[in-house]
Chain A
Amino acid sequence: MSLINQTSRSKASLKPSSRRAETSRVYAHPLPIIFPEPTYKFLGLSLTRPLNPHCTALFDPLTRSAWVSSSGDATLLWQRGFFGKGDLSRSEPSWLARQINARKMKGKALTSEEITAKRRAERKQFKLDRAKAIAAAAAEAETAFNEQGRVIAPGIAPDGTRIIPSAATWKPTSAPVPSEKSPLDVAPDEEEDMEPIQDLEHLQLSLQEAFFLVWALDCLTILHPRTLVHLVFTQNVSFTLAEIWNTFQNAHIPSLVPQPNAPSPLRFDNPFLVSYVAYHHYRSLGWVVKSGIKFCVDYLLYKRGPVFQHAEFAIVVIPVYEDPEDQANSPFKLQNAEPFTWSWLSTINRVNSQVQKTLVLSYITIPAESRVSPKVLSSPACFVHYSVREVVLRRFIPARMRD
């Protein structure tokens, strides 16, 4: 639940069921466009128009992304479909809230980053305690053997209880110290003298998310970054769909300014196109698609969203060329286009099964230039020539998996 929207009760006082209800209320809409209840129907067709928020974002060529600076648009895009990520936060932009929190020292309602930091500090303390207990028990076993010649089980006390703490039963012994060191002597009336913090965070949309919002949903406008013309900054001009189509394909070329001319040569294996095919495929099936860099994969699929449940599926995008000639002539070196090794596959599968995610290999077939003319690449209608096939992987252990 976002800290940004101030609720009347703090998070800690909400029961799990009411927190779930609150989350379901805040994240009720799966897409930025809302289809209101039809007030008037004609021949069974609803005549009410869908509500379109018309958000705006700024294209940034260096980071190859679209920035949403307006906090209203950012909150809307996050709450309706989990689009984008705050560039200084774990998920939604919460940097300003964290700074204000740190200033006011009202640590009751914590943002998700602060909760994670607290949990990591406790886990670190647990590991130190455990290491000390192991060392002490080993030393005790050594002295017992040297002095009396008897061997004792190092981890067990004489009455049978465990000395080495386990993660399930360990409790933090001392309260965290750093909070006392912060300046608590800032009197409430002095807070107004401190200058307000400028919000330096924005919601960043990847090119795939931005193109989906522009083309598939038509609820986003992308603006050209400001250019200096005759020593005067021009008004932010918005891109046309054709310019966005070209600029996004050219984004892999490092540049400080957008490149809105059609790429030459036009190629089916442009990295933006291949990754967009996968993104669009899963989004259109209703999944919430987020980046999978933390788990060594390309995308993570969430059933409803990150705030509800952990992702169930981890997607690796594997481009497959219909014609090997195209791969040989390619100016791009697409990742995973070459045959992969068993060690790579085992590593990724192991990482994901440890976090209870199912690994899915998503094969994207890149059409052959000999069969389909590259001229179709002048518009998004070319996507009809790509195909997506999934292969689901699970580790099979015959000895252990009989029940």
Chain B
Amino acid sequence: MQNHPSYPVLSQLLEKYPATGGALFQVYNDLTLAQKWIDVEVLDLPACKRAAIKGKRPTPDTDRVPSICIVVPCSLSESISASWLRAAFTSLDPLPSEIYVAITSEDTSTVYYKISQGIVKPPV
């Protein structure tokens, strides 16, 4: 892993939170290399004992400004709770309307879930 170009960016947080290091590495690579997000930065969320990723998601139609999205990685073997999600929201500044939870599996499959505060009607 040390030879991977993403390692220098993440090395401090991987050492600080080794339990979620695998999920962070996988999600970071998926967003930057496969999904081609831009302006990606990594945030430290001590309340959730992990790092989160903030970036701009590319949109297919160019008239819409790419929106800033926050992704919180976690692995399938963990158990998460509503209070954990609430902590993720409150430790982010400015308070986002929604976050994405990225659940990773050991074979590198990643599923993303959009979590909003309260009940939100889907756009279409």
Question: Could you list which residues of chain A lie within 8 angstroms of chain B, going by C-beta atoms?
Answer: 60, 62-65, 84-89, 95, 113, 121, 124, 127-128, 131, 177-178, 181, 200-201, 204-207, 209, 225-226, 252, 254-256, 271, 290-291, 293-294, 333, 335
Contact = CB atoms under 8 A, between A and B. Distances in A.
Nearest to A64: B106
A226 B60 CA distance: 41
Contact of B106 (A63, A113, A131): A63
A206 B76 CA distance: 13
Given A88-B29, A128-B124, A64 B79 contact: no
A200 B30 CA distance: 11
B121 to A, nearest CB: 12
Contact of A63 (B1, B61, B79): B1
Given A95-B34, A252-B77, A293-B76, A65 B106 contact: yes
Contacts of B26: 63, 87
Interface of B: 1-2, 4-5, 14-15, 18-19, 21-22, 25-26, 29-30, 33-34, 60-62, 76-77, 79, 103, 105-109, 111, 124
Nearest to B79: A333
A206 B107 contact: yes
A230 B100 CA distance: 43
A256 B105 contact: no
A142 to B, nearest CB: 21
B107 A204 contact: yes
Contacts of A121: 60
Contacts of A207: 106
B30 A62 contact: no
Nearest to A207: B106
B80 to A, nearest CB: 13
A293 B1 contact: no
A206 B79 CA distance: 20
A144 B25 CA distance: 58
A200 B5 contact: yes
Closest 5 CB pairs of A and B: A254-B19, A63-B22, A254-B18, A87-B108, A293-B105
A63 B107 CA distance: 9
B109 A294 contact: yes
Given A88-B29, A291-B107, 19 more contacts: A62-B14, A63-B21, A64-B22, A86-B108, A88-B33, A89-B34, A95-B33, A128-B124, A131-B124, A177-B61, A200-B29, A205-B107, A206-B107, A256-B14, A291-B105, A291-B109, A293-B76, A293-B109, A294-B109
A206 B77 contact: no
Contact of B77 (A95, A178, A225, A271): A271
Contacts of A290: 107
A178 B2 CA distance: 36
Given A131-B124, A200-B4, A65 B107 contact: yes
Contacts of B33: 88, 95, 200-201
Contacts of A178: 60, 62
Contacts of A60: 1, 22
A201 B33 CA distance: 9
Contacts of A225: 1-2
B21 to A, nearest CB: 4
Contacts of B106: 63-65, 204, 206-207, 291
A115 to B, nearest CB: 15
B18 A226 contact: no
Nearest to B5: A200
Interface-centre pick from B1, B103, B109, B124 (highest chain A CB count, 10 A): B109
Given A62-B21, A204-B108, A226 B103 contact: no
B18 to A, nearest CB: 4
Contacts of B111: 293-294
A127 B124 contact: yes
